[in-house]
Chains A and B, each alone.
Chain A
Amino acid sequence: MTEITSLSLFELIKNIKEKKISSNEIAKSFVDRSEKSKKLNAYVTENFENCLKLSKEFDNKPNFDLKLPGIPIAVKDLFCTNEVRTTAGSNILNNFVPSYESTVTQNIWNEGGILLGKLNCDEFAMGSSNETSFFGNVQNPIAKDLVPGGSSGGSSSALAANLTPVTIGTDTGGSIRQPASFTGTVGLKPTYGSCSRYGIVAFASSLDQAGPMSKDVKDSSILLEVISSFDKKDSTSIDFKRNNYSSELTRNIKGIKIGIPKEYRVDGMPEEIENLWKKGIEYAKDCGAEIIDISLPHTSYALPTYYIVAPAEASSNLARYDGVKYGLRSSGESLIDMYEKTRSEGFGEEVKRRIMIGTYVLSSGYYDAYYLKAQKVRQLIKQDFDQAYNKVDAILTPSTPSSAFKIGEKSNDPVSMYLNDIFTVPVNLAGLPGISIPAGTDKNNYPLGLQIIGKPFDEQTVLNIAYSMEEKINYKNNLTDWWMK
């Protein structure tokens, strides 16, 4: 039998239901491998002992009707977990232990999932390489000193290294899809309003969305089914009829129309990305899809728009970390002094940069020129997609403009770092579902991903196209387990 940790979620569930493996055996395998993988720095907080205990409890009283029966799962450290430290990758929440559970993680535990640990991420999910985390860089299991992407970098690393069978991340501008692309894994950002934001440390409220990350498309469909739910505790949660994504998953996409947006052919895009995209188009055709050229004319404005809207919301969302109620408090001479010291010591450079950008664009005299204009452009970007969807069912693009880069390579150049999000950001601005699937490698053998963008609430079509193409692409990471040596 293959090693337990390299099995897919689907296979694990099957084995557990057929009583071929126990929950405790699975938990032990992932805990053991995680223990041996500390070099990756994927975990911020381990929950190993508790996970082993709970897996035994599951085995003593199993319930195989659950969707994730006794499956250990590590999650991004942006989800608040009851009585388990939640840091959001920040010093300011270094000591924060919530007394409540996020809806998304609660949904997972309700279906039999067991918390394995909290995974590293960029501070407050602000970053594309996991280098802004207070808890240090995360290694990409693909190669030494390679970033795992971000902000869900601990998630992508742990997943690709088989430290967790599946995981969940959050995606504000590409934070699930880009790390998935960098690690040869699958990452899905659902439609805005699909997964509750309750209990997720907020970055940019109008863009944040939780989603599954997995080794294959089927696993993402299983996990999406669990985490997607209407939640009255989140006013932006949407009450729509959710599919049984995993049982309705099909590779039959004959006649589906897939759009290719010409504006995504950006200047300076490496040839290997261009080639990957071309190959992707051929795969889609092979799957029976009809390829249609489309235009999304406002694409070039997406990145600047995003870097106004997201910091604006963040500057306000992060105001609550003031040292008064919880988290880090530095001592000060006065209230203002305490604020300044707490926030200076508590936040890292990138977070401070975005708070300042956000504060600036909302300031009186600049609001109309930046924030208001950005909101208008955001509407235009949405309209681009609306119009495109009159002609096509989904859109195919590269996930990122490059493969994973070296740790430190871009950390002093924020703008070049921001360019990482160029293909993923429009999807968040328009609130659409998007998935990244591994589709090939670059000259260094680093994985590259393709993105499939769908209509609002049409995760099923996105998953079906991905599922179908995945079979044709037949990509597999070639892990050397270098970090264990």
Chain B
Amino acid sequence: MSKNNSEYLIERNDNIYEVIIGLEVHAQVTSNSKLFSSSSTKFGAEPNTQVSLVDAAFPGMLPVINEYCVKQAIKTGIGLKAKINNKSVFDRKNYFYADLPQGYQISQYKYPIVGEGNVILDMPEGQKQVGIERLHLEQDAGKSIHDVDPSNTLVDLNRSGVALMEIVSKPDLRSPDEVNAYIKKLRSIMRYLGTCDGNMQEGSLRADVNVSVRIKGSTDLGTRCEIKNVNSIKFMQMAIIYEANRQVDLIEEGVEIDQETRLFDTKKNETRSMRSKEDAHDYRYFPDPDLLPLEITNDFIDQLKSEIPELPDDKKKRFIDEFKISPYEATILVSDIDTAKYFEEVVAKMGKNRDMKLAVNWITGELFAVLNDKNIEIAQSPISAKNLAKLINLIKNGTISGKIAKTIFELMLDGDIDPQIIVEEKGLKQESDPKALEALIDKIINDNREKAIEYKQGKEKLFGFFVGQAMKASGGKANPQLINEILKKKL
């Protein structure tokens, strides 16, 4: 029942509800070492092999801030067009858990490193701006493993102390589609910046999802529920749909919604209450006395600004202006930094006589299909940008036809072979000699006199027959444009 493609409304008994969504995204900072210790952050190591005395909270151990992580957070803030705070404070969030060695998480509460910013989403119905409330740095906890030993919980502290950025959005999102676009855009920006690899399988990007509903048109916010720690976009969307409908049902039944924290059960596709507001933890936040306030000068920020690469929004604008491609095409090409890089490399290698339309079509068409099929990223593309550019140029300069190009493309997949070599070895060069083609066509007309007469009498459909015969006779190598011209002349 959507008016626009991405609008999400729920209708019950003549009431139309809209969904209000805010996200708290936890993005792991790309850094070789942890936020307050020099332990490695490499994913997939044996349990408890990347744990320092600080990470395991031994007596007398003290945190020392990793400057690189601070720079990464500031860069991300710049990417979100956000205010970078000159002074921020690390606080302790106190709670007991087996995988939280200190008995508190070092986080930023009142004074985060990054303040308000925004992100632009490209939705089918146009652009939408989503506000960023804040970004702060915090430590990750370890991992409790409940399913290895029947009677004990095991703890792996490899992740303990890894730097996370918590990026809090304003409640500006209205649909599962917008959430999808928002997460992808955040991920894209951070991957451009090199501040988070955005790998959701490895847990580098997870989110707490805040959901509430209200009658469309109302300006009051309903009571929200927070769905904790959802680790894929699909699950976020499923959780939102379930949760929004649950809330609408309650309202329609006249039941008040409790503000609570809920968990999404991916197997049952439902959210479940984890704890109510009354049971909410009292985290007893207070400034960590082991750490001084983080003071960042404007010079430091300016230096980092100068290191910021071209980001997706700017790149898109430039692609449209410089390469004269459509906004839709540009959006697709810039969404992933590696795709954008690949595209730009193809453009560069095509040289002066470049054909943007062909480049875009081949990348988003044939190449994407192959990547999808093989389930690989463009960075692992079996065909290099250089060779794809060569292939496109071969089409452009008439050496091969588009049809032959597809055959060559298939052959190139096996070891990134130079298309020029394939053309020569297989003799696939297009026949563009008019005299040779005229002779060929004369023979065909001669062999099919009756059809030629029918065509002349008005049966125009037969033109295709002659083209097909000509292509067949040339082994597919005849230049289709020339065939057309000659046939028109001769028939």
Contact B59 A320 (CB under 8 A): yes
A197 nearest in chain B by CB position: B62
Given the interface pairs A204-B289, A320-B101, the reply to whether A234 lies near B59 with Cβ below 8 Å is no
Given the interface pairs A235-B290, A363-B282, A364-B284, the reply to whether A324 lies near B63 with Cβ below 8 Å is no
Instruction: Give per-residue flags for B308-346: 1 if the beta carbon is below 8 A from chain A beta carbons, else 0.
Output: 000000000000000000000000000000000000000
Interface residue total, chain A, C-beta cutoff 8 A:
42
Distance in Å: Cβ of B490 to nearest Cβ of chain A: 87
Which of A8-16, A96-104, A288-296, A406-414 has 4 or more CB atoms under 8 Å from chain B?
A96-104
Kindly state whether residue B16 has any CB partner on chain A within 8 Å: no
**How many angstroms from the CA of A236 to the CA of B289 in the assembled complex?**
8
Contact A325 B57 (CB under 8 A): yes
Instruction: Give per-residue flags for A356-387: 1 if the beta carbon is below 8 A from chain B beta carbons, else 0.
Output: 00010011100100010000000000000000
Residues of A within 8 A of B62 (CB): 197-198, 233-235
Kindly state whether residue A417 has any CB partner on chain B within 8 Å: no
Residues of B within 8 A of A322 (CB): 96, 98, 103
Given the interface pairs A235-B291, A319-B104, the reply to whether A86 lies near B284 with Cβ below 8 Å is no
The contact of B289 among A100, A198, A201, A205, by CB within 8 Å, is A205
A193 nearest in chain B by CB position: B292
Kindly state whether residue B102 has any CB partner on chain A within 8 Å: yes
Given the interface pairs A197-B62, A325-B57, the reply to whether A320 lies near B102 with Cβ below 8 Å is yes
Contact B292 A236 (CB under 8 A): yes
Contact B286 A319 (CB under 8 A): no
Instruction: Give per-residue flags for A84-115: 1 if the beta carbon is below 8 A from chain B beta carbons, else 0.
Output: 00101000010010111010000000000000
Kindly state whether residue B94 has any CB partner on chain A within 8 Å: yes
Given the interface pairs A86-B59, A100-B53, A235-B65, the reply to whether A335 lies near B104 with Cβ below 8 Å is no
A231 nearest in chain B by CB position: B62
Contact B102 A319 (CB under 8 A): yes
The contact of B59 among A201, A205, A339, A359, by CB within 8 Å, is A201
Kindly state whether residue A312 has any CB partner on chain B within 8 Å: yes
Kindly state whether residue B56 has any CB partner on chain A within 8 Å: yes
Contact B284 A235 (CB under 8 A): no
Kindly state whether residue B92 has any CB partner on chain A within 8 Å: yes
Kindly state whether residue B448 has any CB partner on chain A within 8 Å: no
Contact A233 B64 (CB under 8 A): yes
**How many angstroms from the CA of A319 to the CA of B101 in the assembled complex?**
9
**How many angstroms from the CA of A86 to the CA of B286 in the assembled complex?**
28
Kindly state whether residue A80 has any CB partner on chain B within 8 Å: yes
Residues of B within 8 A of A88 (CB): 59
B97 nearest in chain A by CB position: A335
Contact A316 B59 (CB under 8 A): no
Contact A235 B59 (CB under 8 A): no
Residues of A within 8 A of B292 (CB): 235-236
Kindly state whether residue B60 has any CB partner on chain A within 8 Å: yes
**How many angstroms from the CA of A235 to the CA of B63 in the assembled complex?**
7
Kindly state whether residue A313 has any CB partner on chain B within 8 Å: yes
Distance in Å: Cβ of B151 to nearest Cβ of chain A: 12
Residues of B within 8 A of A197 (CB): 60, 62
- Residues 168-212 of B at the A interface (beta carbon under 8 Å): none
Q: How large is the interface on B (under 10, 10 to 19, 20 to 34, 35 or more residues)?
A: 20 to 34
Kindly state whether residue A45 has any CB partner on chain B within 8 Å: no
The contact of A326 among B58, B103, B155, by CB within 8 Å, is B58
Distance in Å: Cβ of A372 to nearest Cβ of chain B: 9
Residues of B within 8 A of A98 (CB): 58-60
Kindly state whether residue B153 has any CB partner on chain A within 8 Å: yes
Distance in Å: Cβ of A90 to nearest Cβ of chain B: 10
- Residues 88-106 of B at the A interface (beta carbon under 8 Å): 92, 94, 96-98, 101-104
- Residues 283-299 of B at the A interface (beta carbon under 8 Å): 284-286, 289-292
A363 nearest in chain B by CB position: B282
B53 nearest in chain A by CB position: A100
Distance in Å: Cβ of B33 to nearest Cβ of chain A: 14
Distance in Å: Cβ of B161 to nearest Cβ of chain A: 13
The contact of A199 among B60, B63, B285, B290, by CB within 8 Å, is B60
**How many angstroms from the CA of A312 to the CA of B98 in the assembled complex?**
22
Given the interface pairs A233-B64, A316-B103, A316-B104, the reply to whether A93 lies near B290 with Cβ below 8 Å is no
Contact B60 A201 (CB under 8 A): yes
Residues of B within 8 A of A313 (CB): 289
Distance in Å: Cβ of A216 to nearest Cβ of chain B: 30
- Residues 65-119 of B at the A interface (beta carbon under 8 Å): 65, 92, 94, 96-98, 101-104
- Residues 223-238 of A at the B interface (beta carbon under 8 Å): 232-236
Given the interface pairs A93-B59, A322-B103, the reply to whether A335 lies near B284 with Cβ below 8 Å is no
- Residues 44-59 of B at the A interface (beta carbon under 8 Å): 53, 56-59
- Residues 151-204 of A at the B interface (beta carbon under 8 Å): 197-202, 204
Q: Interface on A for B, CB 8 Å cutoff?
A: 80, 86, 88, 93, 96, 98-100, 102, 197-202, 204-206, 232-236, 312-313, 315-316, 318-320, 322, 324-326, 335, 339, 359, 362-364, 367, 371
Q: What 10 pairs across the A-B complex have the smallest Cβ distances?
A: A319-B103, A205-B289, A206-B289, A362-B284, A199-B60, A320-B57, A201-B59, A80-B60, A364-B282, A320-B103
10 A-B interface contacts by CB (under 8 A): A198-B61, A201-B60, A202-B59, A312-B286, A316-B103, A320-B59, A322-B96, A325-B101, A362-B284, A367-B286
